[in-house]
Structure formats: C-alpha cells, structure tokens
Amino acid sequence: MAIKWINYDQLDASSKLASDAKVDLTKVMTGASGEERVKKYSAKMAADLTFNYAAKNVDDTILADLQKLADEAGLVDKFEVLYNGEFVNVGENRMVLHHLTRGQLGNDVVFNGVNEREFYTGVQKRVAEFAGKVHSGEIANEKGEKFTTVVQIGIGGSDLGPRAMYLALENWARVNGFLKMNAQFISNVDPDDAAAVLANVDVSRSLFILVSKSGTTLETLTNESFVKDALKKAGLDPSKHMIAVTSQTSPLAGSSDYLDSFFMDDFVGGRYSSCSAVGGAVLSLAFGPEIFDRFLEGAAAEDKLSKSRNVLDNPALLDALIGVYERNVLGYGSTAVLPYSQALSRFPAHLQQMDMESNGKSVNRFGEEVSYPTGPVIFGEPGTNGQHSFYQLLHQGTDIIPLQFIGFKESQQGVDVEIQGSTSQHKLSANVAAQIMAFACGKDDENKNKKFAGNRPSSIIIGEKLTPEALGALLAHFENKVMFQGFVWNLNSFDQEGVQLGKVLAKKVLAHETDGALKAYADIFGI
C-alpha cells in the first residue's frame, strides 16, 4: 500500500473534528443516557480487560470522525508497515520491532540474513535456560550457594519499564509461589542510589544484570564500577556475579567480565524494551521464565487487537484518537494516569517516559516544525492515594486534565478485611467508579467553594485481576496508543534527540571546558 506521511493539520478529518459539536459530560452522563453510554462505549481488550470511554467527550458523530481520521491518516496501515519491517524510525534509520519480541503480527522480518523474530525468541530461550540454572543452583556463587537476589543496573528504558513490571507482579508472585528471587534496581548516577541498594542486599548472594544497549551509558558504567568495587571489597569475583544485556556490537558483548551476555538490537528502543531481554532477564530470574512468557502472551494478544481497522474494536487506536481530540481540539495539556492498584505504583512513571520521550517533539518525521501541540505531560499516582493528594486540582482547578483510570475487580493477594460492611477491594472499586462520575457530572452548590463544574473527561481500563497476562496487555495497549498518536501527529516517535545536548554539556563541565554561565554553575558546585 502507499503510505502517506502527512501532518495532522493537513488532514480533512482534523477540521471536521474541530467543528463537531462538543459533548458536555454533565448532560450526557446523567440518567438513562449515562447508563447507556457506560454499556455502549466499551471495547474488549486482551486478558479480560475492558476499555471503557463513556466518560470521554465523545459521541457517535465524533467517534465516526475519529474513524475518518484513522482512515485518512492510514494509522493501521502505518502500524502494518512498522511491524513488517519498514525503517519507520527515520531519524536513526532503524526498524521498530518491539512487537516481534512477543509475537509475529505480519511477514517475517529478515535483516542481514537474520530472522528478527527468531533472534528475539532465541535470546528469550537462552535467558530462560540461564534462569533455570540459577534457580536450580547449577549457576551459584563461589561458595556454591544459590543466588537469592537479582539487581538490575540500568537507566531510563533499562530501568523504568522492568522496574514497573517487577513491582506490578512481585506480590502476586509471592502469594502464588512464583517469587524465585527478590529484585532490586540501581539507576541514578547519584552514588547514594547504589550505596542504598547495596546496603540492603547480601552481595554474596546477588546476581547483577548490567543493561546498556550501547555498552557506553555513563550512568550505568559508573554504577557497574560502584558495584564491582563493593563485590571486590567483599572478597568476591565480580565476573562471577554479573551478566550483561547489551547489543552484539557493544564493548560488553561476550566479555569475560560477565557470566553470560544476552543480546538486544537497535530495532527495540529503550522505552519499548520491557518485552526484550532488558525486561526478560530480570523478570525471568525473579519470577521464572513461565511467568515472563505469560506476560508476553498478554502483550501479543493486545497487539493483535491493534490491527483492527474499526476504531471501536481497537482500544489502543481509540484511546490514541480520543487523546488527540483532547490535545488538539479541546486544548488540554496534560494527562493523569491513575491506577487503582498499589502494584501499579510505578506504572505511571514508565508511561511518563514512554509517552513523553516518544511524542514530546516539535518537528515532524521530516524535520519540519509542526504548528499544533503534540505529546502531553503525563503524570500519576495510584488511587486512592491520589484522591488525598492532587485530585483537588483535578476536580476544581482552572485547567482540565484528562484522566486515565485503571482498576481491577479482585486484589492480587486475596487478603482482605471487611469494615463498615464492605471489603477493602470493594472500597477501592467504589472509589474509582465514584471518581469517574464526580469528574464527569460535577455538582452544583450555592457555596461556589463546594461547586464541582464537572465535564472533566476520564476513561477506565477494568480488569479481573492484575495477572502477568493482564500486565502484558496493559503495557502493549499504552505502547500502541503512543505509537498511533505519533502517527497522527506525523512524528518519529522512536528517536530521542532531545536528550543529547545535556549529555554534551555535562561532558564539557567534567572536562573543565566551559565558560560563561556554565562555568559559573560548575564553580558553585566546585567541579
């Protein structure tokens, strides 16, 4: 097919959307209309999840125009060429193949004679075998004792995604007998980060995973050095306590400094690498490869739904389009991600990177400045905690912030207590349901200080329970949502040139090659 990469404001559907009558949630979400919307504006996701968008500012007309936008921009066609191996990351001249880490959506993708799907599954198999040997004690410390802790050393995409996924399943795994090793993470170049983690683990029983695609990430190499020092001070041989996850061409690959190396390649971006060896090594060691497989299955199943050309059957696409409508038609500048699940405490931080690093850009994929807003600010904390924190602004502040709720019918650990006639889990669910309606419909009051204007849009993803499959589906949903939004805005969502300048200047400071204000700041810090 012929793909047209075209700016959002050049699409007919964008003008159509701008002129559509706005939906007032305080009207449509009340009475029978509201009940009908909750039942109707709902799309099935994988792993028993449901995307409900009843409380978004859409109606059948706007949804039809979002479908037109999807068709006119060829969003699903673009997804198709992406997973079939077109070099859609134009800035870096790379394919974008993270979907292949968890399934085969289209044609075989072969690069330099290597079938990429086989490459990724091959690595997963090697990771699984290695994890099995660690769990059985075949690979052990120098005294022959089993490793009990796994510590990931990485930053950005090598940290946020794997950490969020680990935390999401840690307690589920514990109560279900799947927690094989405790996992810790070292990311920040702040020496207090590594020192704090090392103070809390038994290094003699710890296996460290060094994760850096290029093998040159300064923070990660610094922390590796920090950890090696600690191992040596404890009389241990660092090479018997470390593995590497890196690219085949990196200086780390196959080095005798590591027990083993597991490879990723340039076609999986850091922030999309949770399903590659970057997430696979730590999650397979922590929970066992079977659990990691279940996570991948959930993601793969969700990916398949993203192929649908009918926006109503394609939750990631629909979520993306509604987000574009909120950003470009309604003019909202940020989005809050609010999981009513403590296990998802760091999921918003991962989405923050995934979304803001992908679509926080001012030029289109051809390097031309765009004249419309692109990626929003993403932030969030788990509910009900957030209710007792920043929800005040969400309800009564002067700006409207679209909301993305996530909730589950069952808790992960199944331990609960009944007080005032209801369980904690029911209280949690009741709160998220209540919040959706409070935001949508508001409440008038003679005392304007107690008035809620309402018409504050939210969607919710509802699941049975946060299992590995559900987590994989959630992850894929948001990855694909961000991808579709990048397509609408005509961005390259897969590079990150915006991180470079700071790196260059930091090196200058450390080399004392500065003048003017930068030297003045360096002087204050005594560098």
The catalytic residue positions are: 357, 388, 503
What secondary structure, in 3-state letters, does 346-403 show?
A: CHHHHHHHHHHHHHCCCECCCCCECCCCCCCEEECCCCCHHHHCCHHHHHHCCCCCCE
Question: Could you give the CA distance from residue 511 to residue 527 in angstroms, rounded to a whole number?
Answer: 9
**What is the rounded CA–CA span in Å between residue 204 and residue 189?**
23
Decide whether 46 or 160 has the Cβ nearer to its own copies.
Answer: 160
Q: How many residues bind its own copies (CB under 8 A)?
A: 159
In the window 165-194, what residues touch its own copies (CB under 8 A)?
A: 170-171, 174-175, 187-194
> Considering the complex, what minimum distance in angstroms separates the CB of residue 55 from its own copies?
8
Chain positions 353 to 372 lying near its own copies, rule: CB under 8 A, are 353, 356-363, 367-370, 372
**Of 86-125, which residues contact its own copies (CB under 8 A)?**
91
Of 152 and 187, the one with the shorter C-beta distance to its own copies is: 187
DSSP 74: T
Is residue 500 involved in binding its own copies (CB under 8 A)? yes
**Closer to its own copies by Cβ: residue 16 or 519:** 519
Task: Convert residues 32-51 into a mask of x (bound to its own copies by CB under 8 A) and - (unbound).
Answer: x-xx-xxx----------x-
Q: Examine residue 412 and tell whether it contacts its own copies (CB under 8 A).
A: yes
CB closer to its own copies, 1 vs 419: 419
Residue 465 CB, shortest distance to its own copies, in Å, is 11
Contact 423, 416 (CB under 8 A): yes
Report the residue from 2, 19, 143, 388 that binds its own copies according to the rule CB under 8 A.
388
Does residue 29 bind its own copies (CB under 8 A)?
yes
The rounded distance, in Å, linking the Cα atoms of 88 and 27 is 43
Distance separating alpha carbons of residues 276 and 285, to the nearest angstrom: 14
Name the nearest CA neighbour of 278 among 475, 92, 422. 475
Using CB under 8 A, which residues numbered 212 to 231 contact its own copies?
Answer: 218-219, 221-223, 225-226, 229
Residue 451 makes contact with its own copies by CB under 8 A:
yes
Nearer to its own copies, 91 or 132 (CB): 91
Tokens of 341: 């699940």
CB of 293 to its own copies, least distance (A): 23
Q: How far apart are CA 503 and CA 294, in angstroms?
A: 38
Q: Is 411 among the residues that bind its own copies (CB under 8 A)?
A: yes
Least distance CB 84 / its own copies (angstroms): 24
Q: How far is the CB of 15 from its own copies (least distance, A)?
A: 19
Q: Which range of residues in 14-22, 95-103, 139-147, 423-431 is near its own copies by CB under 8 A? A: 423-431
DSSP E strands in 102-223: the ranges are 110-111, 114-115, 149-153, 182-186, 206-211
Q: Residue 427 corresponds to which tokens in the numbers above?
A: 């209280």
Separation between Cα atoms, residue 84 and residue 100, nearest integer Å: 10
* Distance in Å, CB of 436 to its own copies, minimum: 6
* CA angle at 167 for the pair 166 and 168, rounded to the nearest 5°: 90
Binder among 19, 31, 235, 256 for its own copies (CB under 8 A): 31
Interatomic CA distance for residues 384 and 386, integer angstroms: 6
Residue 409 near its own copies by CB under 8 A: yes
Give yes or no for a contact between 352 and 396, defined as CB atoms under 8 angstroms apart.
Answer: no
Least separation in angstroms between CB 197 and its own copies: 10
